[in-house]
Structures are given as structure tokens and as C-alpha cells.
Amino acid sequence: PHFMIELPDKNDALCFNINDKPGTIFNLVRDPVSGILVNGQIIGDKKIPPDGVINTYFYRFGITHWTLGVRLEVNTEFITVYQGGERIKLLWSAPSSLKGPNVDMVLTKDRSLMVTLKDSVKFVILLHKVWEKHPYHRDYLGFYTLDSHLLSPSAHGLLGQFYHGIEYEVSDLRPGEVPERPDATMFVKGQQLNVTRGWQRDFRNDVKNGENVPCWFIHNNGTGIIDGDASDYIVSGLF
Amino acid sequence: NADVGTVEVHSFTVDCAVRSRFARTIMTSTAINKGNAAREISFEVELPKTAFISNFSMEIEEQVYVGQVKEKEKAKQQYDKAVSAGKTAGLVKASGRKMEKFSVSVNIASNSKVTFVMTYEELLQRTLGQYEIVIRVKPKEPVQEFKIVSNIFEPQGISYIDAHATFLTNDLLPLVEKTVTDKKAHISFSPTIEQQRKCPDCPGTIIDGDFIIKYDVNRDKNLGDIQIANGYFVHFFAPKDLTRLPKNVVFVIDRSGSMSGTKMQQTREAMIKILEDLHPEDHFGIIKFDSSVDSWRNSLSLATEENISEAMAYVKKIAHRGSTNINAAVLKAVDMLVTDREAKRLPEKSIDMIILLTDGDPTTGETRIPVIQENVRNAIGGNMSLYGLGFGNDVDYGFLDVMSRENKGLARRIYTGADAALQLQGFYDEVSSPLLLDVDLRYPDNAVESLTTNHFSQLFNGSEIIVAGRLTDNDIDNFPVEVYGQGFEDFSEIGQFSAVDWSVMYPEDDYIFGDFTERLWAYLTIQQLLEKSKTGAADEKANATAKALDMSLQYSFVTPLTSMVVTKPEADDSPMIADKLTEEQRQQAERSGGVSYYRPSTPPTYFVDGD
């Protein structure tokens, strides 16, 4: 999966990939104060592509809000909401909306699920549907945080750690391996990283083609930009 | 803060009473729900972060709900239990740079009235020759009865007093009433509802900002002043007319990558000003560091015009790069001072200090914090002072705080913002004029107990040393005091004090001192115990924490170890809690506050997806 930190006030963005064995579950957001937990499980391509690189994608998210007593499981087939002892199942194929005291959800058929958890966070999950008979690829999900400003300063996780903003400086622009992707030196979190100018796609407005967003790409599973390394975010269960 | 139209905020009053630097502020607000249905009304105020909340109550339907101070962990369990049951509405904490926010909300029935009363207490600190009281007021709408009143009683006599507010217009200025007699000042500000409006019949209020009172007291006796009340004494020591000591200062400046941009620019600006302000008899050195450590010159230089101008040229060229080796940089500064001292290049009667400015954790060289602290402690060996300036929110402030305290210094946070250069200069101004070193204040062993710290590594011009304790003999007539310190001329004063008769000094207000001196002593003791709980051996830390907790509970202070629990009238198990932030929590809050405050019109997006 590719991670993107868009910083409109800097007119810039940072991006990195995190990959691991299919089946691995990563923690994306954890805020012990507001009681939010978002974990995601990755899946690989159906078989090894010709270039030999197994790409992984998120295909299942587990979202828990302890204080509101809400739990959501979103996978590429359906969505399950647990709240106050009640269980509601929604299908991606049926547009629907749900308005409750603690959670609002709007599902756009086979495309997106917008979730607002009261006084904490708003996010959208995109469904990428792939042709069923595609030889390599399969359906996967994207997770976009739309509003996190109500989360506490303790929020962490692969995405959550960036909710507090990030300070960095890029200098020493130089030719990279590919002419249109120059390399540069990034000073971030007291470290000096070699980064490459590139782009990643934001699919919110165009779920099929996406929009290219230029970003500074951080190599080696985001080493240097994330606190610790990617393996520190592996968790044993979805909830 | 209420549903305008149906809920009327009837009154908001601030009553601040100061007795010999110890300030007790009571904020009271009354609101009436005039609507046909129940409404949620919230009470939100800001208080100085050096203050401890000591009381909070709500009166609804003539029933008063009073806050109780409890051990933080116990309060948290109670709160968590209520949260899991989905029955609570408020956690009370937040912070700003100088202030902390306290907010609660409660549901009020139709045609009912609620009165919130909050009390906080603080010991005013003398900085750059004055005490400052900050009262922040932010009513959302004009209030029928709005009043700020402050009564200041200073037995030493008030040398000057000034009151102003950030929101004062020419129309409001005459409404600040100030009555000052020798030992007493009364300040009040009470605009009518019409005077609070931005314009006739328009909504909103111009009352939004800080009401600030600044004052100082007379200092007639070199030995200071001792005040005795109800079995407790307090000694204020800040002699005037002492010659400042020359200082030898090494500035250690972090130029690692994270300092890039504004921080580096502000550091350069501040350093230029600081260099300009050096006294001609001072010596100084400059070290810049990232992964490598470079010094301007190999030894300290006298602050001559020529040297200062060369240093300025050097400072202007400091540019960011690389990572952070704090250990090597500080040890280099210590070595420079030690070598110069040994070579007798520095005046014998002078003070050695290191000012470290950094914005991040050590990331290269020795990165283990306890090892760095030990290395620095061993190298300094009690012979110089280390001041740590933590720039921004990524710094490990606790690390700097402990390391500075262990070496006769102190740490200060520098907030990222347009005024960062001024903050750096301000800190330097505070510590740049040492008057005395190793100040000892001695009292008769058989007459006092539970004494607060009575040894101080230095006294700076414009500050004040305060010692308080309990008297074993209530009828003490002559209270002997001795003060020693090393200065340009060695300081040695011996004298005797007697308890004053408050009814003679303040014939109409003799009751006012009541428990103030005792609470001042308790406040000071708790502050010092909280500091001790961060340094020293594990058992000493635990001991200090336990004592601080005991005293916080005994004196009903909301400190970082306690919480105030207010049981809301709706349900017994839905408490509201007032917390005191620790420095680390404050840093976290700042970090988040900054993001929230500067949130651009297009919010940032954080996402994960696949191609």
C-alpha cells in the first residue's frame, strides 16, 4: 500500500510504501485518549506478477471506538457495524446510509464508505473493484482520513503519527535514476534521508484513474519518516 | 458559553486577592436557562499554568455540587468507568503557552439557574523586577454584570503598579479604576453591558483577552522581609544594589537539520541581540553542533566591541545540516570553560555558564539520555550552571529539564512562533545578571520545621528567593535569620524579625492573611517536591512523589498528581474531572493545538491506498 501525507499549507506531500507478507495486520491509527483504533490487513496479488514483485494492498479494516462503543469491520465484500449489542451488515452493492447518535455512515454503491465518528474522526474508505478474472489483481481498499483534528495529541500509528503535522526541509536537489524523478536530501526528525520526487494517486475524485499528487517519496518502507520501523506497527488482530 | 437567546449569562466576576505574592482568584459565573427545554451550558475559563485549582462548585436549584480532590489514578478509574457506561460528558483539560483551559458543561432545566465558581491559587514569581497577574476573559456575549476586581496586600509596600488589558479601547480605558495606598492596591474593571458591545445592538463583545496587572514591592532591607502568620513564616529575599558578577558563557547552538528554516533564522536573530547585550566584562564562546561540533574560537573571548562584531558575523553564517550530537557539544563547552579557568584566562570572581539551545533528541554519537546526563554531570562537577532551551515540540523537554537542574540551572521551553527570538532573548535577560552564587538562608533549627529549599545556586537580578516553613513556637518575638552568598563582594547578613500585628498594619482587613501564609508554604513545598520527583535516586523520587501527593490532597490542590472530581447532578456516576497537565502533556497539547490553530482552509489528508 502507498501512504500519502498531503500538506496543503506547504503545497507539498510526502509518500512512502509499506509492504510485508500478505495477511499482515498493521496499526494505522491508535488514540488511547479518544479511544480510537484503526487496523488494516493486507493481501497480495493472486499470483506473482511477471516482474516478480508481490504488491500488497489493504483488503480489511477493523475500526474500534471504545468510548462510543462502536466497532466496524470493512472488507472488500461487506461492512459490519457493531453498536450497543446490535449488529448491522451493509453490502457494497447496495447504497445506504446510517445515522446514529455516535456514528454516521454513507455508502455509495461499490465505491466509497464515508464514516463520521462523533467528536473524533471522519474518514472515507474507497473500494477498488478489479475485474473478477484479472490474472493478478483483486479487489482492495483505500483509507483516507478527512478530519482528525479532534483526536488527541497521543494519536499514533502509521497514519496517526502524522496527524500532529510534520516538520521537514528538502535541499540538495540532484538528478535521480530516472530523469523526471530527481533525488534530494530531506532533513526530518533529526535525520538526513535520501528522497525521490515522484507522485502517487489520490482516488477520492476518480476511483478508477485517480489523480496524480506529486510527493517526496521516502524509500525503504518509510524508514526515517515513520517513528521506529514498519514492523513496530504489526498487530496480531484486527480489533 | 451558551445557547444565545434562550440562555442568559447573568454575571461573570473575577475576584483576585493577593497577599504577599500569593494570589487566590475566584471566578464566578451565573447563567439562566430561559427556554422551554433543558439546555447544556458550559463554563470555560483559562488559568495560568503555574496555578493550582483549589476549588470548583456548581449551584443548581439551590443545590451545591462541590469538587473533591482525589488521587489522579483513582479519579481516572472513576472517570473510565463512567465513560464505558456512556454516561459522562466532560473531561477537563487543555493548555496553551502560558495558560490552561478548564471547561465543564452541565444540563440545566427550563427556567433554572446555574452558578459556577472556580478558585485557583498561585505564587507570583518575580521576573525582570516585577510580578505579573494575568486574568484571561473571553465571554461569548456581553454579560449583564461583568466585573474584575483585584485587591493586593503587600506588607513591604507597593513600589509601583500598572494595570492594562489587551482589549482596552480608549472608551474602556477610564473604566479601569486603581486605588493605591502604601501597602494596599485595589483595581477594578466593570463595564456595563452596553460598554461591552462592539457597537450598539450588534452581537459579540469586545471583552476578549488578557487583563494584566504588574507590580513590584519596596526592598528596604538587604536581608529581605519575613512575614509570620498563623504559625507559618515566609521569607522574601531580593536585595537591591548588589553588583552583578561577570559571567563566562558558552552558547551551544544546535544546527541540525530539524532547525532548518524559521528556527535557525530566529536563533541567529536572537543570538545577534544577545551578543549586543553582553557586558564588556563578560567572556563568551560559541559552539555550533550537528553530528560534528565546531567552535567559533578555541577559548572564550572578552566581550569587546571587536570580538562581538566578529562573533556576530560568525553567527549570521550558521546554517543547518546533519543530525544532533548533544553529548559531544556540551562536553566541548565544559572543556572550554575548564581549560580557560585552569589557564587563569577568566576573572576569579565570575560565574561560568553554558546555554544549550536544541530542538530535538540526541540522534548521533552518545544517544542514551541517562548516559549523557551522567557524562555532563561528571564533567561539570558542580562548577558551572547549565541552562537548557528546548525549541519547539519535538524536543525531549524532560531530558533538558533534569540535565539543567542537575547542574545548577534550569530549562525553558521556547515555543515555535513569530516571537521565538524574543523568547530566547527574554530567557537570556533573566539569567544574564547573576548577583549571588550559593545563597544560603539559615533559620534557628529549634524554631522552624518543614522548611522549603533554603539553598539556591544563584540569585539573578530582578528575581526573588522565597523560603517558607512552619514555626514550632507560635509566640516567637525575635526570629533570627542569616543569609550568606558569594558575590562580587561576599554577602553575609544577620538580623532578627518579629511577627507584625496584622490588625495594626491592616486595621480594616486584619483577617485577610488567614491561611494564606500556610497555603503559600504548601504550594511552594509541593512545587519543590514535584521537581525533586524528577531527579535523583529512584527511592528519593518515589518519596518526593508520595509526599507531594499527600500534600496536594491535604490542601486540595489540583497538581499533576491529583484530579478534581465533580459529580454532575444528572447521575451519581458521571463525574467531571479537572486535571493538571504535566510538562510532557502540555507539550503534546501544544503540538496538537498548533495543528488545530493553523489548520488551513484545505485540511491535510492522510491516506493509504494502492495502485
Task: Find the closest chain B residue to A119 by CA distance.
Answer: B89
CA torsion B48-B50-B54-B56 (nearest 10°) is 30
- Taking 50 as the threshold, does the pLDDT of residue A155 lie above it? yes
**Cβ atoms within 10 Å, residue B509:** 14
pLDDT at B593: 31
Helix (H, G, I), strand (E, B) or coil at B589: helix
Task: Find the closest chain A residue to B362 by CA distance.
Answer: A190
Report CB contact under 8 Å: A8, B611.
no
Closest CA to A169 of A206, A143, A195: A195
- Give the residue from A14, A192, A202 with the most B CB atoms within 10 Å of its CB, the best one to mutate: A192
Those of residues 24-83 in B touching chain A at CB distance below 8 A are: 83
Instruction: Confirm if B444 and B473 have CB atoms less than 8 A apart.
Output: no
- Taking 60 as the threshold, does the pLDDT of residue B167 lie above it? yes
Q: What are the beta bridge partners of residue B107?
A: B40
Judged by average pLDDT, the poorest of A36-40, A145-149, B99-103 is B99-103
Strand order in the sheet with B465-471: B225-229, B232-237, B465-471, B448-449
Q: What is the pLDDT of residues B28-41, one digit of tens each?
A: 999 988 888 877 78
Q: What is the pLDDT of residues B122-138, one digit of tens each?
A: 999 999 999 999 999 88
Shortest distance, CA A209 to any CA of chain B (angstroms): 9
The grid coordinates of residue B51 equal 496555578
- Sequence-distant (6+) residues with CB within 8 A of B83 are A35, A67
The mean pLDDT of B1-26, rounded to a whole number, is 84
Q: What is the pLDDT of residues B315-359, one digit of tens each?
A: 999 988 777 899 999 999 999 999 999 999 999 889 999 999 998
The fraction of chain B above a pLDDT of 90, given in percent, is 44
pLDDT band with cut points at 50, 70 and 90 for residue B410: confident
Top mean pLDDT of A18-22, A89-93, B249-253 is at B249-253
How far apart are alpha carbons B455 and B465 in whole angstroms? 10
- Give the residue from B92, B263, B290, B609 with the most A CB atoms within 10 Å of its CB, the best one to mutate: B609
Q: What is the mean pLDDT of chain A?
A: 88
- Taking 90 as the threshold, does the pLDDT of residue B45 lie above it? no
pLDDT at B397: 86
pLDDT at B575: 60
- Taking 80 as the threshold, does the pLDDT of residue B601 lie above it? no
Q: Looking at the complex, does the CB of residue B571 fall below 8 Å from at least one CB of chain A? A: no
- Sequence-distant (6+) residues with CB within 8 A of B286 are B250, B251, B253, B271, B295, B296, B297, B311, B314, B315
Single-letter residue type at B57: S
Q: What is the pLDDT of residues B530-561, one digit of tens each?
A: 988 887 788 888 999 999 999 999 999 998 88
pLDDT at B568: 64
- Taking 70 as the threshold, does the pLDDT of residue B3 lie above it? no
Predicted complex ipTM exceeds 0.85: no
Report CB contact under 8 Å: A169, B602.
no
Single-letter residue type at B439: V
Report CB contact under 8 Å: B608, A58.
yes
Q: Output the DSSP codes for A93-134.
A: TS-EEEE-SSEEEEEETTTEEEEEETTTEEEEEEEE---TT-
Instruction: Confirm if B99 and B49 have CB atoms less than 8 A apart.
Output: yes
How far apart are alpha carbons B509 and B153 in whole angstroms? 10
Helix (H, G, I), strand (E, B) or coil at B463: coil
- Taking 50 as the threshold, does the pLDDT of residue B596 lie above it? no
| Helix intervals (H) in B223-289 | 262-277
How many Cα atoms sit within 13 Å of B274 on the Cβ side?
30
Closest CA to B487 of B408, B433, B430: B433
CB nearest to B595's CB, from A2, A165, A188: A165
pLDDT at B179: 94
Backbone torsions φ then ψ of B470, nearest 5 degrees: -100, 140
Report CB contact under 8 Å: B608, A8.
no
Judged by average pLDDT, the poorest of A67-76, A161-170, B89-98, B227-236 is B89-98
Judged by average pLDDT, the poorest of A176-180, B252-256, B296-300 is A176-180
Q: Looking at the complex, does the CB of residue B597 fall below 8 Å from at least one CB of chain A? A: no
Strands B7-19 and B145-153: parallel
How far apart are alpha carbons B535 and B428 in whole angstroms? 24
Report CB contact under 8 Å: A7, B608.
no
- Taking 50 as the threshold, does the pLDDT of residue B415 lie above it? yes
- Taking 80 as the threshold, does the pLDDT of residue A50 lie above it? no
The mean pLDDT of A149-177, rounded to a whole number, is 86
- Taking 80 as the threshold, does the pLDDT of residue A219 lie above it? yes
B363 vs A contacts (CB less than 8 Å): 190-191
Q: How far is CA B241 from the centre of its chain?
A: 27
Report CB contact under 8 Å: B608, A169.
no
Q: Is pLDDT larger for residue B85 or for residue A6?
A: A6
pLDDT band with cut points at 50, 70 and 90 for residue B84: low
pLDDT at B524: 97
pLDDT at B270: 85
pLDDT band with cut points at 50, 70 and 90 for residue B163: very high
Judged by average pLDDT, the poorest of A97-101, B284-288, B383-387 is A97-101
The mean pLDDT of B66-87, rounded to a whole number, is 69
Q: What is the pLDDT of residues B328-340, one digit of tens each?
A: 999 999 999 999 9
Q: What is the mean pLDDT of chain B?
A: 85
DSSP A66: T
How far apart are alpha carbons A165 and A156 in whole angstroms? 12
A194 vs B contacts (CB less than 8 Å): none
- Taking 60 as the threshold, does the pLDDT of residue B86 lie above it? no
Strands B247-254 and A112-117: unpaired
Q: What are the beta bridge partners of residue A87?
A: A82
Report CB contact under 8 Å: A189, B600.
no
